[in-house]
A = this chain, B = another copy of it.
Amino acid sequence: MNILLTGFEPFGGEAINPSWEVARSLHNQVIAGATVHSRCLPTVFGEAPRVLAEAISVVRPDLVLALGLASGRADVSIERVAVNLIDARIADNAGARPRDVPVRADAPAAYFSTLPVKALLHGLRAAGHPASLSLSAGAFVCNQVFFELQHHLAGRGVKSGFIHLPALPEQAARTVPTVPSMGLGAQIDAVRLALAIALSGDEDPALAGTDEGSPTS
């Protein structure tokens, strides 16, 4: 069994990206019998999904989890849906800033995560990891990767999804006002547990009925 785990290179002027630090630290680890293969994606529209697709063809994963940074969020943020929209507020690492264009003109408006998101939520929380579900992965490179990932694997029986991580403490220490953060060790523990839960099987229907911090109304 193989897991493909991706993170992003730093962007937006940062020198480090927790998503790649977490992925890299889990590279070659064996989780619940599956081997983690970690890849670093460029924070560049178009390039990131290309590197991802190539990694999928090489690794032939049974599970894919893409990680990204969402500075300002306070917890492990399990994304439920990728939208077919690119609308960048800042330039990517190649200087491009596409606005109001689809990820793929020939694809559906959105894809849902195929990970057991409620099982992830409750498993992470029960283990003491702050976590929530999110209904928006934004419209930047993270969402493009998430959308292309779900498009690529649609109907193939390989579970896949996206998790946004908070800033690292050393990043938060340079912000005013201070953004929330989570230590790298805790982020690694949380992602390792998330992979184990995702591998272990389907959503437990009994888990559906608990609060999960979704947006209002």
User: Chain A residues in contact with chain B, CB under 8 A?
Assistant: 68-75, 80-81, 83-85, 87, 89, 97, 99-100, 108-112, 118, 124-125, 127-132, 135-143, 164, 169-170, 172-183, 185-186, 203, 208-209, 211-217
Q: Which residues of B contact A85 (CB under 8 A)?
A: 80-81, 112, 135
- Do the beta carbons of A73 and B169 come within 8 Å of each other? no
Question: Nearest-CB distance from A151 to chain B (Å)?
Answer: 11
A109 to chain B, nearest CB (A): 4
* Distance between Cα atoms of A97 and B127 in the complex (Å): 27
Contact A69-B217, Cβ < 8 Å, known A74-B172, A83-B81? yes
Instruction: Provide the bound-state CA to CA distance between A203 and B87, in Å.
Output: 15
Per assembly, the copies of the chain total 4
Query: Are B217 and A129 interface neighbours, CB within 8 A?
Result: no
Query: What residues of chain B lie closer than 8 Å to A172, measured between beta carbons?
Result: 74-75, 130
Given A110-B108, A140-B217, A173-B128, A74-B135 contact (CB < 8 Å): no
**Residue numbers in B under 8 Å from A87 (CB-CB):** 212, 214
Additional A-B contact list (19), CB under 8 Å, known A83-B110, A129-B169: A74-B179, A74-B180, A74-B181, A89-B211, A97-B209, A99-B208, A99-B209, A100-B118, A109-B110, A109-B112, A127-B173, A128-B170, A128-B173, A130-B175, A135-B135, A135-B138, A142-B217, A178-B213, A181-B182
Contact A140 B176, CB 8 Å, known A110-B83, A182-B181? no
In the bound assembly, the distance between CA atoms of A182 and B213 in angstroms comes to 20
Q: Are A174 and B216 in contact (CB under 8 A)?
A: no
